[in-house]
């Protein structure tokens, strides 16, 4: 911008990652940018990250640990002051990313603003309602109630993809993350420093979701999931074929197939696959497929509503028929509605079988070797789903009974998380100076960190620091930058010459600086300019033309005018002297220079009034008065140099007395 100036200043960025597992929280100093993890640090679950920079604090996600209950499932919120959080951003609706949100909004001192996408908010309500209902803990140990959940909805604001919002000087916008419907990656900018938080994301397009976007803006910091470490996913076609063949084998041997899933997310992808497979295999039409969730109808209604947020294939298909109106799949609310006779396939929630219908069906079917369970998503340590993947000989039921595990157990991952190939390509495209790994088991995260370091250690053009903090461990990053003060409005109309002084008002709004003319304040800021007019009445009984003579002789800058048919003088162009019966009235717009001019005129009027013998053309002794004038001139010039305010500068004509 014309006339813009800038000066350098060192900036610091301090990130605080609040991850899932517990550890000691280091104290974060205000100047640097520090990510501190209260959850999802070297673990998967209760994702919660605190970003602190320039006096602002942001929370990224607020989840629970699927393998724990009650207060133990929360992130390490007790190590922070919720009242200091300015902004809370939720990446998607999975419990390990938003499950603690109602508790945080309703049970803590948090007063900031909360944002998520429209689809995430719609699904969040139903998913957490189901979580409250199926949780197998006492009412006293519940983190929140249905009422808390409903009341939290009013505190959540929505954001569209690519829509830029600003809160307390924090700019943020979001990109499609793949993973699940409505999942978002958030780009955050504070004072010119940019941070990208991926949440859970997938760079592979599937049957209904688009792949995660690659932002066209390079972030200074990338906080990225590391769920699968250095693993490489099998090809989508091979994975789907293996899944369908496994299901087919189970029902062919007369067994029941259990697919534990979360009510929303991968369930919809698997439903699309099974419905298509059943359609292409008439011999299976007599074998029922059930989608067992109390949220089934509500969930599918949400998916049908947000078809436009899905990939091109689904958007084109919706013009012909709705792909989420299934031909071979029925809803199953509870075991009371289930006629458990003969082979069948049941997709039931929750996905890690900690409680609910999936746990009930598993305990009922696990002793029959004809039956089979297919684990189709990522499983957290400490959950039943993770436990049975090690093929134990027996399991413990929720009532404490020991049962033999005879049903087949297969793991076919449809988890929509990036593998090493996708993660490394994403980092390669963005080339962020700092990469912070979250949302991954300790060993997987360590392997990913080592692989990334090896990739860039011999690269002289790209320098990337990789961090893998534990829960509550702070990562402090320093940034050198410049503060730029932009000249705007009237002052920017003409480009100044080199070395020319530009005078104006320096306005700071959040982290932006502008230099403005006072007349532009109302155009570029919320500030309003006020004008204070001073009026002073001075007793005066002498001739009015005598005042004109003495003021003209002293200043050389007096104009005779009329105001409302009354004789008046304009002195120094800014001071008006009006003749009134028995007095004169001075009027002027208040500012430091005009106030001094008014003092000068007042001194002349009082001097003339106190010497009634003075006649026109006769010079009186102004020794003391001249000293007062000189002092005023010196004061004005000093103020001009101090404030660089052009209106302070004036020229007095030399007069001989």
Active site residues: 417
Return d(Cα 376, Cα 370) in angstroms, integer.
Answer: 19
Return d(Cα 198, Cα 195) in angstroms, integer.
Answer: 10
Return d(Cα 173, Cα 340) in angstroms, integer.
Answer: 49
The three-state (H, E, C) secondary structure of 332-347, written as one string: ECCHHHCCCCCCEEEE
Return d(Cα 433, Cα 427) in angstroms, integer.
Answer: 10
Strand arrangement of the beta sheet that strand 408-411 belongs to? 329-332, 289-292, 344-348, 256-260, 372-375, 408-411
Element spanning 39, H or E: strand 34-39
Return d(Cα 525, Cα 639) in angstroms, integer.
Answer: 26
Identify the residue whose tokens are 């803590």.
108
The three-state (H, E, C) secondary structure of 291-317, written as one string: EECCCHHHHHHHHHHCHHHCCHHHHHH
Q: How many CB atoms lie within 10 A of CB 478?
A: 12
Q: Evaluate whether 5 touches 515 at the Cβ level (below 8 Å).
A: yes
Pairing of strands 394-396, 402-404: antiparallel
Q: For residue 654, what are the contacts with CB-CB under 8 A and spacing of at least 6?
A: none
Q: Evaluate whether 378 touches 227 at the Cβ level (below 8 Å).
A: yes
Return d(Cα 512, Cα 169) in angstroms, integer.
Answer: 9
The tokens describing 124, both together, are 């969040």
Return d(Cα 90, Cα 161) in angstroms, integer.
Answer: 13
For residue 14, the 8-state DSSP code is: B
Q: How many CB atoms lie within 10 A of CB 287?
A: 18
DSSP string over 594-636? HHHHHHHHHHHHHHHHT-TT--TTPPP--HHHHHHHHHHHHHH
Distances (CA, A) of 646 to 223, 412, 501, 537, 593: 50, 76, 10, 29, 10
Q: Evaluate whether 479 touches 12 at the Cβ level (below 8 Å).
A: yes
Question: What share of residues in the chain are helix, strand, coil (percent, to 5)?
Answer: 30, 25, 45
Q: Which residues of 197-208 are buried (b: 16+ CB within 10 A; e: fewer)?
A: bbbbbbbbbbbb
Q: How many CB atoms lie within 10 A of CB 136?
A: 10
Return d(Cα 236, Cα 36) in angstroms, integer.
Answer: 35
DSSP string over 139-186? GGG-S--HHHHHHHHTTEEEE-TT--EEETTEEEEEEE--SSTT-EEE
404, β-bridge pairs: 394
């Amino acid at each position: 911008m014309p006339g813009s100036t800038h000066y350098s200043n060192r900036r610091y960025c301090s990130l605080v990652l609040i991850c899932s597992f517990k550890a000691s929280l280091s104290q974060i100093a205000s100047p640097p940018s520090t990510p501190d993890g209260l959850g999802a640090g070297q673990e998967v679950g209760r994702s919660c990250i605190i970003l602190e920079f320039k006096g602002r604090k942001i929370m990224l996600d607020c989840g629970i640990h699927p393998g724990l209950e009650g207060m133990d499932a929360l992130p390490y919120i007790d190590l922070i002051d919720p009242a200091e959080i300015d902004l809370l951003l939720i990446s998607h609706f999975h419990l390990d990313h938003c499950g603690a949100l109602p508790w945080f909004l309703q049970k803590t001192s948090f007063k900031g603003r909360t944002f998520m996408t429209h689809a995430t908010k719609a699904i969040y309500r139903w998913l957490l309602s189901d979580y409250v209902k199926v949780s197998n803990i006492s009412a006293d140990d519940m983190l929140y109630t249905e009422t808390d959940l409903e009341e939290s909805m009013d505190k959540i604001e929505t954001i569209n993809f690519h829509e830029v919002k600003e809160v307390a000087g924090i700019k943020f916008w979001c990109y499609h993350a793949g993973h699940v419907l409505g999942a978002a990656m958030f780009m955050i900018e504070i004072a010119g420093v940019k941070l990208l938080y991926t949440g859970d994301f997938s760079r592979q397009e599937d049957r209904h979701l688009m792949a995660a976007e690659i932002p066209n803006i390079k972030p200074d910091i990338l906080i990225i999931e590391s769920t699968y470490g250095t693993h490489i996913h099998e090809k989508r076609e091979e994975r789907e074929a293996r899944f369908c063949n496994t299901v087919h084998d189970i029902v062919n041997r007369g067994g029941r197939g259990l697919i534990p899933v979360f009510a929303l997310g991968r369930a919809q992808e698997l439903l699309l696959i099974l419905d298509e497979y059943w359609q292409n295999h008439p011999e299976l039409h007599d074998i029922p497929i059930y989608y067992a969730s109390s949220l089934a109808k509500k969930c599918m209604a949400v998916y049908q509503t947000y078809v436009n947020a899905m990939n091109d294939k689904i958007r084109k298909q919706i013009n012909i028929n709705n792909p989420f109106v299934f031909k071979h799949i029925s809803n199953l609310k509870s075991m009371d509605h289930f006629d458990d006779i003969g082979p069948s396939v049941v997709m039931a929630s929750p996905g890690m079988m900690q409680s609910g219908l999936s746990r009930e069906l598993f305990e009922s079917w696990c002793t029959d070797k004809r039956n089979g369970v297919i684990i189709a998503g990522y499983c957290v340590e400490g959950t039943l789903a993770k436990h049975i993947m090690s093929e134990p000989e027996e399991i413990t039921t929720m009532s404490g009974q020991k049962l033999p595990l005879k049903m087949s157990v297969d793991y076919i991952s449809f988890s929509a998380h990036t593998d090493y190939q996708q993660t490394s390509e994403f980092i390669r495209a963005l080339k962020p100076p700092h990469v912070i790994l979250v949302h991954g088991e300790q060993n997987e995260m360590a392997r990913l960190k080592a692989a990334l370091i090896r990739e860039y250690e011999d690269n002289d053009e790209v320098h990337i620091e990789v961090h893998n903090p534990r829960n509550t461990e702070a990562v402090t990053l320093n940034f050198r930058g410049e503060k730029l003060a932009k000249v705007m409005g009237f002052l920017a109309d003409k480009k100044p010459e080199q070395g020319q002084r530009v005078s104006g008002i320096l306005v700071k709004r959040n982290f932006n600086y502008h230099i403005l003319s006072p007349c532009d304040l109302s155009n570029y800021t919320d500030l309003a300019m006020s004008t204070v007019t001073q009026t002073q009445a001075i007793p005066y009984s002498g001739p009015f033309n005598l005042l004109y003579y003495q003021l003209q002789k002293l200043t050389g800058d007096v104009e005779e005018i009329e105001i409302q048919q009354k004789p008046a003088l304009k002195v120094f162009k800014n001071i008006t002297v009006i003749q009134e019966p028995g007095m004169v009235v001075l009027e002027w717009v208040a500012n430091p220079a005009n106030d001094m001019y008014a003092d000068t005129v007042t001194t002349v009027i009082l001097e003339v009034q106190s010497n009634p013998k003075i006649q026109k053309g006769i010079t009186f002794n102004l020794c003391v008065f001249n000293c007062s004038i000189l002092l005023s001139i010196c004061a004005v010039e000093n103020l001009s140099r101090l404030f660089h305010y052009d209106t302070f500068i004036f020229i007095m004509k030399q007069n001989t007395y």
